[in-house]
């Protein structure tokens, strides 16, 4: 299938009168990293949940690899090759780190010869192999974030949706995740990243999509977008508002 891997077409999601996401469209090519940014409340998470099937869009359509996936339940999307992490980490707390990842290997219900070895290999990719035997609840926050990525990777996605995997981490921990994400894209997995850490998203992303008040206000190369008056206004306007 040629054409974009992911197409978001005029997607809207209203909560009562509030247009959390309003007529947003963008494409994502395979092997591409797209950063989704915008001030708090811009609608990033809502758009994310719409793409991952948790929330149904009020209007619009999402296609993946050329087929319409609008309104498909999350487990179907995972089986099609859309992996995701949660902004608030959701590990299987009372089982081992390795079992968390084995669940990811087996989740999509495809043929696997050695799920345990496959899970170990994924843990090595996110540098958590030394924690395999630990209960997930006993991991530190940066480790839990990496487990979240490992579990999604284990499903062998073609597109990974990452919602604020760097939030709450120290600069050193952020660097570690950035290395991991760069590795992942080298393996040919496309990424859609929601992130507040500007340094990270500017250097990782091939393109940025900027949202404010539910609408897409800019799209393009990171350097271009950063200089866009509408983007500066959205962020500054927010700050002025906060100061008032």
Ligand X SMILES: Nc1ncnc2c1ncn2[C@@H]1O[C@H](COP(=O)(O)OP(=O)(O)O)[C@@H](O)[C@H]1O
Q: Which is nearer to Mg ion, 4 or 57 (CB)?
A: 57
Q: Is 60 in the site for ligand X (CB under 6 A)?
A: no
Which of 10, 15, 110, 179 is close enough to bind ligand X by CB under 6 A?
15
Helix (H, G, I), strand (E, B) or coil at 56: coil
Q: Least distance in Å: CB of 210 to ligand X?
A: 11
Report the residue number, 16 or 73, with the smaller CB distance to another protein. 73
Q: How far is CA 156 from CA 114, 118, 147, 201, in A?
A: 14, 11, 15, 23
The kind and range of the H/E element at 37 are: strand 33-37
Name which of ligand X, Mg ion, another protein, none residue 46 binds, using a CB cut-off of 5 to 8 Å depending on partner kind: ligand X
46 touches ligand X (CB under 6 A): yes
* Residues numbered 132-191 forming contacts with another protein, rule: CB under 8 A: 151-152, 154-155
CB 224 within 8 A of CB 55: no
Contact call for residue 232 and ligand X (CB under 6 A): no
Q: How far is CA 108 from the centre of its chain?
A: 18
Number of residues interacting with ligand X: please give it, by CB under 6 A. Answer: 11
192 near another protein (CB under 8 A): no
Buried-state track 126-151, b at ≥16 Cβ within 10 A, e below 16: bbbbebbeebbeebeebbbbbbbbbb
Between residue 98 and residue 137, which ones bind another protein under the rule CB under 8 A? 99, 102-104, 106-109
Q: Closer CB to another protein, residue 150 or residue 201?
A: 150
Beta strands 207-212 and 215-220, pairing class: antiparallel
Q: Does 155 bind Mg ion (CB under 5 A)?
A: no
**Only segment of 12-20, 24-32, 78-86, 118-126 that touches ligand X (CB under 6 A):** 12-20
User: Among Mg ion, another protein, ligand X, none, what binds residue 142 when CB lies within 5 to 8 Å by partner kind?
Assistant: none
Q: Does 94 bind another protein (CB under 8 A)?
A: yes
C-alpha count within 13 angstroms, C-beta hemisphere, residue 197: 21
In the bound complex, what is the minimum distance in angstroms from residue 38's beta carbon to ligand X? 6
**Quick one: 122 or 174, whose CB is closer to another protein?**
122
Give the closest residue to 101 by CA, choosing from 87, 116, 111: 116
The CA distance from 170 to 199, in Å, is: 13
- Which one, of 13, 1, 76, 28, lies nearest residue 207 by Cα? 28
Interface with ligand X (CB under 6 A): 15, 18, 20, 38, 40-46
């Amino acid at each position: 299938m040629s054409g974009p891997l992911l197409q978001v077409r005029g997607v809207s999601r209203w909560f009562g009168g509030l247009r959390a996401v309003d007529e947003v469209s963008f494409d994502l090519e395979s092997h591409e990293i797209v950063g989704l940014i915008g001030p708090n409340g811009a609608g990033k998470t809502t758009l994310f949940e719409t793409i991952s099937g948790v929330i149904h869009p009020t209007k619009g359509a999402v296609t993946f690899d050329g087929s319409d996936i609008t309104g498909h339940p999350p487990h179907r999307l995972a089986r099609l090759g859309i992996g995701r992490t949660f902004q608030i980490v959701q590990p299987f707390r009372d089982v081992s780190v390795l079992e968390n990842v084995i669940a990811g290997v087996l989740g999509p219900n495809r043929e696997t010869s050695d799920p345990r070895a496959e899970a170990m290999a994924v843990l090595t990719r996110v540098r958590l192999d030394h924690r395999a035997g630990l209960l997930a609840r006993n991991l530190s926050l940066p480790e839990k974030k990496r487990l979240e990525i490992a579990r999604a990777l284990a499903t062998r996605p073609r597109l990974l949706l990452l919602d604020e995997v760097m939030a709450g981490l120290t600069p050193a921990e952020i660097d570690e995740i950035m290395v991991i994400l760069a590795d992942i894209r080298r393996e040919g997995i496309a990424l859609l990243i929601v992130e507040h850490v500007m340094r990270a998203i500017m250097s990782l992303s091939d393109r940025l999509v900027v949202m404010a008040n539910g609408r897409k206000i800019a799209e393009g190369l990171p350097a271009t977008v950063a200089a866009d008056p509408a983007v500066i206004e959205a962020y500054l306007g927010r700050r002025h508002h906060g100061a008032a």
